Structure 1
């Protein structure tokens, strides 16, 4: 979507106005661990990977709390065979240890997907955790609901056997599943009925669209589902395994605006003709989704670092003018929480604090330690946001991305605006994402 900017970008109120956005930095809602903002390493990239490309590494370094990847033995059942990337068509010439070391070098926790085979999974734990390249978090299987004999009951039984074999090697690891292809609540409930005494976290995948394209207005309106789906899974956990409910985490192991690649649907009024993953709309979408996941207390994993349209980074030069390793829209949206290479954007703080707004189609997420506010205007209406931030603050550093520049253009640094009478005012083009760092 293009942005409509009918208001001044930055102003300082001469007198206190009625706030239409309110942030209480003293009212902590929940912790926000760095792994709330995570991503998937795919093993794709046409020769350019985190293991060998300095620019690729620079774009990701220090931004994501954890990075998830699938590894497997070249020969199933043979622990002497090479460990390689597990994705279909992924690079197989890079050793498994090289991937894990590269993830750690990026400042992230490695999260490993293993086959739902007890022998191979236990041997992978043995290789890494007894061999000096420890991994603490593991996922058994990937989208079992799409595979033969993948019912929740059958998979749950396999999960239990694999879990027990892995924990026999290293009891301190965290192991989860079922990593279903979509938020199938019936499947998740049945899985927990079988495996709820074991699973350390519940994993499911969720995309904005897939089998068919949707209009941007629908895509953006439906980001609320990321909140309600996490809440629904938490209710299921509490219902099925109440004694362990506080011990079982929730993560969305794959997410992006669309798992398919669709041309712009007719009759939507979308801005641009490329698939949504390449357009500015995916920036507003991903900022909303990851803000909601932080608010809900879940981990989110953007799929993936590189995989054509489904990437944080371009894996090939694009007709739009973007070069290899340039930022894609999903990188931009999450980047308002993680920071972005080549910008002064801050990382979201360690505690979510209470925030609210009366503005339509606007979402606000705020943190303490440091004091960061992210404002997502998903609609076409521009606003002057009068943000009440309380006492003791004097200025806000502001960055903003709107629809008036190409999707891979860096967010604009709007400079510093004064806080006056406990308020700061900033223009919100429609649509846009804005970050303020208060001091």
Structure 2
């Protein structure tokens, strides 16, 4: 994180005790209509990895190696800890334990960190110094860690936010390389990975990318062949094991900040597309880590807790192998009151015990857990390694639901009430799951609570996170194993061939489409592949495959497969849609339209639909642009000649979230092929 360095230094120089502020009593009234929560246990998402729940730690934090902190992190279920701390990684030299230009606290060296990691029960993620270091220095660290000390440190990233080295105009990340381009970074990543894996071939090496729709995603620097992600993936993709991104979505209010999680499905979808397009032969095997995350408003209060639970759940469901909060401690910022609670604008999970410069406001005593800590602890009760995330949805935008199915058949449902003022009654409904008659276990963390406590499965307090865990009515032990990951081939505008590994004892397979939390069976077959027909052009589909044996027992679902249908191969028109100049939240769009039919078009109308609600056209030329919701209508009185008559129209587009481009267009009602 680049914005917190001044607070980091302050934290290293003083840790002051203070008195906790009392929380006001919250009065709430339940809404009249229960919110319907639907859980589809047959719509499987990603399997929860052992490294899912993570945090950051830093060499400027004097508490880094203390037993008190390790025990608090262990109690919260933390399973991965990142070191040596954000931007400090690019000035830190592990062997001398120095960071020229920064503050290094006592007792924060690598061995102390590793002792703390082990006490926590976590794995380390280590950032090798790219900015002021060398491949040889990184290889030496691997040798010390895994050969000399036998720590078995598996995950290593090359640098931190290295696109912030000034190449795109903003400079906060140290970088001594004369060439600060993504091509230079990629070349060095290859050199680092080769040197480090020569010492220990079992390690996993990650490269820094940008999160889609976050600066500088989509920007092309002077002299570059493409964006940062494109250039890095094309050169380094075959040499790395995962990509590493950060996400600080901001927000002008608490409601806006916690609403940013709606972007995550599309963000990870776009990132996966970039990896698959540019990452080379190794692309399908590249993992994704999100190693810095925090909310824009209410870092220490309930918005931070709600954001953490919602974001971690969404990212894990989308296959991110570790999500790491910034930070364990960070230091006081500008205090305020959020939803009736004192917020210190501190990016830490735990209080640093610091005061404002004038001494008028002090945080609670050192290591007092802030609200996001309790949310992380509740997350450790929600998701366990080996659980499969499954789809869940609600009919109220203020209530978010996530769900996970355990290997023993238990089902855990996480319910988040984003309404700061009202409680909401909920009614849970299930597809592919029948809970036992026994009362579920319910845990809740609400606004102003000092810890997690027993709650209600039918009423959610305002601004709360509730975990409902239930047992199945009957065992599914006799069911066949779930099929392995399916693949898609021969994807057209209307069809796709889905294939999957066979399962012992299976006599039939069901292909199901996930539509929110509603499952739609697309096909049933006795084989291990099927061509699905009657699909809609330009639409994203997520499907799962389930196996059924002769007795009718149905397996868990396979991992999900997501694919997007395209435009028809032939038509009487073609459309080429291009983002010709992007600046991160807007772009110049160009649409080339060709009439390939035998008759001229005397006046024309082009229709398409934006994939997301946050995309729009601000102005256009050479035609009239009309937007209604996500539907676009582009009209002109001009004539498009037969047999190749072409026109180009342009527009200024804007987006506040991931910019997934449309791929299906109709011209005067005819579906066009891609130009």
Could you say which TM-score interval applies, normalised by the shorter chain? Answer: 0.7 to 0.9
Distance 1:205 1:347, change over 3 A: same
Counterpart in the other structure of 2:52 = 36
How far off its partner does 1:170 sit? 1.1
Counterpart in the other structure of 1:235 = 273
Q: Report the TM-score when normalising by structure 2.
A: 0.53
Q: In the alignment, is residue 253 of structure 1 matched against residue 291 of structure 2?
A: yes
Partners of 1:87 and 1:35 in 2: how far apart? 32
Q: In the alignment, is residue 159 of structure 1 matched against residue 202 of structure 2?
A: no
- Does the aligned pair in 2 maintain the 1:337–1:348 contact within 8 Å? no
SS in 2 for 1:278: coil
Counterpart in the other structure of 1:295 = 317
Which protein has the larger Cα radius of gyration, Structure 1 or Structure 2?
Answer: 2
Q: In the alignment, is residue 123 of structure 1 matched against residue 140 of structure 2?
A: yes
- Does the aligned pair in 2 maintain the 1:136–1:174 contact within 8 Å? yes
Q: In the alignment, is residue 307 of structure 1 matched against residue 330 of structure 2?
A: yes
Higher strand residue share:
2
Deviations 1:382-427 (A, max 9, x none): 3211112442422212122222x26xx113322xx6xxxxxxx511
Counterpart in the other structure of 2:39 = 23
How far off its partner does 1:437 sit? 1.8
Count of residue pairs brought into register by the alignment: 390
How far off its partner does 1:338 sit? 1.6
Counterpart in the other structure of 2:377 = 335
How far off its partner does 1:74 sit? 9.8
Decide which of 60, 69, 94 is 1:56's aligned counterpart. Answer: 69
- Does the aligned pair in 2 maintain the 1:41–1:304 contact within 8 Å? yes
Distance 1:189 1:311, change over 3 A: same
SS in 1 for 2:208: strand
How does 1:33-432 map onto structure 2 within 5 Å? 33-45=49-61, 47-49=62-64, 51-52=65-66, 54-61=67-74, 63-70=77-84, 81-83=95-97, 88-116=102-130, 117-131=134-148, 132-147=150-165, 148=175, 149-178=179-208, 180=210, 184-185=216-217, 186-209=227-250, 214-241=252-279, 243-258=281-296, 276-298=298-320, 299-308=322-331, 309-316=346-353, 322-339=364-381, 350-369=387-406, 370-380=410-420, 381-389=422-430, 390-393=433-436, 394-403=438-447, 405=448, 409-414=450-455, 425-432=457-464
Distance 1:73 1:207, change over 3 A: closer
Distance 1:427 1:349, change over 3 A: farther
Using CA pairs below 8 Å that are at least 6 residues apart, which structure has the higher relative contact order?
1
SS in 2 for 1:35: coil
Q: After superposing the two structures, state which structure 1 stretch, 385-394 or 105-114, moved more.
A: 385-394
- Does the aligned pair in 2 maintain the 1:349–1:371 contact within 8 Å? no
Partners of 1:360 and 1:75 in 2: how far apart? 44
SS in 1 for 2:458: strand
Q: Report the TM-score when normalising by structure 1.
A: 0.80
Partners of 1:379 and 1:166 in 2: how far apart? 49
How far off its partner does 1:24 sit? 3.6
SS in 1 for 2:183: helix
Unaligned runs of 5+ in 2: 1-23, 166-174, 218-226, 332-345, 356-360, 472-675
Distance 1:85 1:371, change over 3 A: farther
How far off its partner does 1:336 sit? 2.3
Distance 1:331 1:160, change over 3 A: same
How far off its partner does 1:84 sit? 6.0
Deviations 1:20-58 (A, max 9, x none): 11224454322011322211112343x323x22x33222
Partners of 1:73 and 1:23 in 2: how far apart? 44
SS in 1 for 2:281: helix
Q: After superposing the two structures, state which structure 1 stretch, 302-311 or 365-374, moved more.
A: 365-374
SS in 2 for 1:430: coil
Counterpart in the other structure of 1:13 = none
Partners of 2:26 and 2:310 in 1: how far apart? 17
- Does the aligned pair in 2 maintain the 1:41–1:305 contact within 8 Å? yes
Deviations 1:334-357 (A, max 9, x none): 232124xxxxx8858721123222
Counterpart in the other structure of 2:580 = none
Partners of 1:95 and 1:206 in 2: how far apart? 27
SS in 1 for 2:444: strand
Decide which of 29, 45, 49 is 1:6's aligned counterpart. Answer: 29
Distance 1:18 1:225, change over 3 A: closer
Partners of 1:86 and 1:61 in 2: how far apart? 32
- Does the aligned pair in 2 maintain the 1:400–1:432 contact within 8 Å? yes
SS in 1 for 2:365: coil
Unaligned runs of 5+ in 1: 9-16, 259-274, 340-344, 418-424
Partners of 1:203 and 1:150 in 2: how far apart? 19
Partners of 2:101 and 2:52 in 1: how far apart? 24
Higher helix residue share:
1
Partners of 1:59 and 1:159 in 2: how far apart? 35
- Does the aligned pair in 1 maintain the 2:45–2:318 contact within 8 Å? no
SS in 2 for 1:7: coil
- Does the aligned pair in 2 maintain the 1:290–1:300 contact within 8 Å? yes
Q: After superposing the two structures, state which structure 1 stretch, 366-375 or 310-319, moved more.
A: 310-319
Distance 1:179 1:234, change over 3 A: closer
Q: After superposing the two structures, state which structure 1 stretch, 379-388 or 107-116, moved more.
A: 379-388
| CA RMSD across the alignment | 3.1
How far off its partner does 1:19 sit? 7.6
